[in-house]
Amino acid sequence: MSRTQRLRRYRTIWISDVHLGTRGCKAEFLLDFFRHNSADTIYLVGDIIDGWRLKKSWYWPQTHNDVVQKLLRMVRKGTRAIYIPGNHDEWLRDYTRLQFGGVEILEEAIHVTADGRRLLVMHGDAFDAVVTHARWLALLGDGAYTLMIWVNRHFNTMRRRLGYPYWSLSAYLKRRVKNAVQYIASFGDAIAEEARRRGADGVVCGHIHHAEIRDLGGVLYCNSGDWVESCTALVEEFDGSLEVVNWMTRRAFDPLSLELAFETEPLDDVLESVDQQL
């Protein structure tokens, strides 16, 4: 099957909470997603780069750089990219309405679907009381979350050696812990109410690492998830229909074999690089 035949094109793709610059980021999965999917417009809905973690210690492997380069190549080939900063990359909010490498930086946006629905697009951290009113507690929570991701990574290394598939500890805890479930519901209600107040038909956000689409009192609530735990994206077809794509489930690959696959670039990317140098 040719590369062109393998490429799935959407009208719009929303990606959030990649957390480049952290060891928990699954950059290899995101690269694989972008090599099989494209769109007329891509929204980067915050926490793409984790400035909080990078301030503490620098971690930037080649795969993280490859994600940035892949996005910039997609922009050069005609994709519109809109970056809406979150709390972990909040420093970019000083540069809203500017462009970097063709990527537009906006505080928030209104997206009109193919079937005419108006969706408010924002990261969502303004509706997180912990981040808004107690930054020190949020930073403490970030440290605990980083520890959980570290445990999860080594736990899954052992699972892989024993022949078991990937399993997300943090996602499991979120589903099982009552307070986390209540928090997810409250967050959705609060941000949907803001969309209703502004006269939008729905809202697209990230921030809480929990992908879903649901109706909240007549407002469509969409969360694009993350690329630390679940590897999910929100996509719009050309008829305006929306879907959450779980790339880890859809591809059903072994993370170790995927990492090895990215030691070399595809031929068309290599040729493009040579052409630019010439």
Residue 19 included in any domain: yes
- Answer with the residue of higher pLDDT: 142 or 56: 56
- Residue 178: pLDDT band (50, 70, 90) is very low
Number of independent structural domains in the chain? 1
Average pLDDT score, the chain: 82
Residue 64 has pLDDT above 90, yes or no: yes
Residue 156 has pLDDT above 80, yes or no: no
Residue 3 included in any domain: no
pTM: 0.76
Closest CA to 258 of 20, 50, 33, 49: 33
For tokens 């031929």, name the residue. 267
Residue 4 included in any domain: no
Residue 221 included in any domain: yes
**Distance, C-alpha 224 to centroid of its chain:** 7
Residue 2 included in any domain: no
Cβ(125)–Cβ(131) below 8 Å = yes
Residue 68 included in any domain: yes
Of all residues in the chain, the percent with pLDDT exceeding 70 is 73
- What pLDDT is attached to residue 211? 95
Residue 110 included in any domain: yes
- Residue 215: pLDDT band (50, 70, 90) is very high
- Answer with the residue of higher pLDDT: 229 or 223: 223
Full domain range(s) for residue 67: 9-277
| Mean per-residue pLDDT, 58-62 | 96
- Residue 195: pLDDT band (50, 70, 90) is very high
Residue 220 has pLDDT above 80, yes or no: yes
Rounded Cα distance, 160 and 163, in Å: 5
Residue 1 included in any domain: no
3 state DSSP class of 185: helix
Q: Residue 14 belongs to what H/E stretch?
A: strand 8-15
DSSP 125: G
CATH of the domain at 18: 3.60.21.10
Residue 37 has pLDDT above 60, yes or no: yes
- What pLDDT is attached to residue 110? 98
